[in-house]
Structures are given as C-alpha cells and as structure tokens.
Amino acid sequence: MNLSLHYLITEPKIKKEKNPLLLLLHGYGSNEEDLFSFAKELPEDCYIVSARAPFNLMYGSYAWYAINFDADENKFSDIGQARASRDIISNFIDELITSYPIDPANVTLIGFSQGAILSYAVALSYPEKVQRVVAMSGYLNNEIAVDDFKENDLSKLKIFASHGTVDQVIPVEWARKSMPALENLGIAVTYKEYPIGHGVSPQNFYDFSNWLTQ
C-alpha cells in the first residue's frame, strides 16, 4: 500500500478482529531494516511496522530531522524538521489504522535514539493515538512536542525508557533528566540503564519485550 512513509510490515500470527500495532522508529542515519530485525522476537499478536524516516542523507541512510554542527562543534537539531516528522508519524498512524485491522486503542511506539526522541514527541502531542512508548537511547525534547502538550491528558500513557551508561552519542544524563520531567506529567515510567554505549543490549531487548507483554 502507498502510505506517506516507506515501511516494512509483519502481520500478526494470531489474527483478531483488531490487532495491536508496534511502530518501530529508527535512529539518525539508519533505515527501516535496522529495528525490523527485532520483529520475529516481538509479540505474535501484533502488526509490526518499521517506518523509514522522511529525510534522505545518502544511500540507505535517513533521518527524522537534520543535526547540524556549528564552528564550535556544537550540534543542534533542526526543530522545524523534527516537528514536521512528528506530524508525519502521527498521520502515518492514522493511515495504518485505516489500511489494516489495527486496534486504535493499542498502539506502541518503539524508538531508538532519534526515533526515541520522536516517540516521546508524538506520544505527548497526541496521547489519544499512542498508549505506550519504548524509548531507547533517547531523551525528552519539549521543543518537538506541540506547544500546549502539558494540557493533554497523559494519565493513560506508559513509557519504558532505557539508556547505556557509556553512551558516547547521547549522554546518559540527558535520559536521567527526562525521567522526573515525564513523571511530573503524571506518566507511568519504567527506566533502566545498561553498561553499554549507543546501542541495544540483549538484556535491554529482553526487558522491554517483557514490559510489553505485561
């Protein structure tokens, strides 16, 4: 089907009238095949969709938004592009629900790095569309969410967040600071750290898979 984002999909082995959706969002410079390698290990009753970010970097490499470096080697995010991607993902969820027998009350975003940052932004901006977030190696950037997101009802949102303690790309302190900010919004958060860099360890995968099935 021609939807607004290119994607890979695994249909549920256990078909119901409406099945849950797990939407996978890759990191900067990667593509839809990256997290899709998890698909066979994820719950069998779900539609598993891995989306390709809209901004092309080079062959086989995509981003949800540009990361620019200034003369002092400071990196900054293109917030305009990030907000555009936030709404592209939100619309993509609607398209998937229209195209497949997906339960709109059972949608989980699973994001890594830039995909995790976008997962937070989409869930806080449109909590009526997302019930759960797995955010690995990311952090909360309020600028990417809609301006009035704090007025949303976030009480039903559940988040599993994880980070490597020696992450050289996104410092673990950024993730740690995000947790009280999320809890202050009334969101149920599970947070775990692993002795790894910028990646997903087997234990991390095991923990978030368990969290999903619970």
pLDDT at residue 74 in the model: 62
pTM over 0.85: yes
pLDDT at residue 68 in the model: 74
What's the helix, strand, coil split of the chain in %, to 5? 35, 30, 40
- What's phi and psi for 164, nearest 5 deg? -85, 135
At a CB cut-off of 8 Å and minimum separation 6, what does 171 contact? none
Report pLDDT digits (tens) over 91-125: 999 999 999 999 999 999 999 999 999 999 999 99
The H-assigned helical ranges of the chain are: 33-36, 79-99, 114-125, 172-184, 202-213
Q: Which residues pair with 10 in a beta bridge?
A: 48
| Neighbour tally for 48: CB within 10 Å | 24
CA–CA separation, 28 vs 6, rounded Å?
16
Q: Which domains does the chain have, with CATH numbers?
A: 7-213 (3.40.50.1820)
DSSP string, 49-63: EEEPPSEEEETTEEE
Q: Is the pLDDT of residue 72 over 70?
A: no
pLDDT at residue 27 in the model: 96
CA–CA separation, 25 vs 49, rounded Å?
9
Report pLDDT digits (tens) over 18-27: 999 999 999 9
Q: Is the pLDDT of residue 71 over 70?
A: no
* Residue type (1 letter), 190: T
